[in-house]
Structure 1
């Protein structure tokens, strides 16, 4: 007995996608409106010109980071724990500016820690520079 193949008729179904597109646009508008824009604090590449008249009265604190891993202030080793007190005690009336001079071979993590300590102590601005040799 041979079976005869049966032919099924295919039903073509249509999906209406216009409500889906409308929903996507509504969600897009909702998320754009609900998003809060936050300005993150980070290292800024813009800084005041050092020849300005307002900053010429006060000399910025200058920390040096040699390749040996020390933190120096005017050639005197103070260590990482001495950065915040020096910044806090440097000026009573106005927060100081800080320059961190990094020499070749110095650890980037140490420079970041010194920068963090200076900012936590209330430094107005922190600038990283390379030691000219």
Structure 2
């Protein structure tokens, strides 16, 4: 049985949606071009930064370590609390954005860590951090 294929001679293609899309694209590009011209006409004096190779080095924080015996170390060097206060105060006078991190051993008496905190406060250190480790116990939650 031969198949007969009927051809519809009135095949119409609706171009209206395509014309709408092209029209919207033309409007978009016209408006976008106007924005870039307006930005070029704004007179700005841009801030200057050092060249990419000359970027300022990030500030390395000073590290105060309180050992389990209560000994205080500043960047690995043993210091007394009074000397710690003096050295930090001198550094704050030279550069007010001094960063200090306190590492306290969990087995040390808290008084030794509190003395280091008091030395930082007396030296007027504003950027101060304390390192801790979160306990990973089964079923525990942090509130």
TM-score (norm 2): 0.48
Larger helix proportion of the pair: 2
- Moved >6 Å (runs of 4+): none
Q: Which residue of 2 aligns with 1:42?
A: none
Please say if residues 65 and 106 of structure 1, whose CA atoms lie closer than 8 Å, have aligned partners that are also in contact. Answer: yes
Q: Which residue of 2 aligns with 1:108?
A: 110
Structure with larger Rg = 2
> Unaligned 5+ residue runs, structure 1?
1-55
Matches within 5 A, 1:3-42: none
> Unaligned 5+ residue runs, structure 2?
1-56, 134-143
Q: Which residue of 1 aligns with 2:84?
A: 83
Q: Which residue of 1 aligns with 2:122?
A: 120
**Corresponding residue pairs, total:** 77
Query: The residue matched to 1:72 in structure 2 has which SS?
Result: strand
1:74 Cα deviation after fit:
2.0
Distance 2:81 2:105 in 1: 16
Distance 2:95 2:78 in 1: 26
TM-score (norm 1): 0.51
Q: Pairwise CA RMSD of aligned residues?
A: 2.1
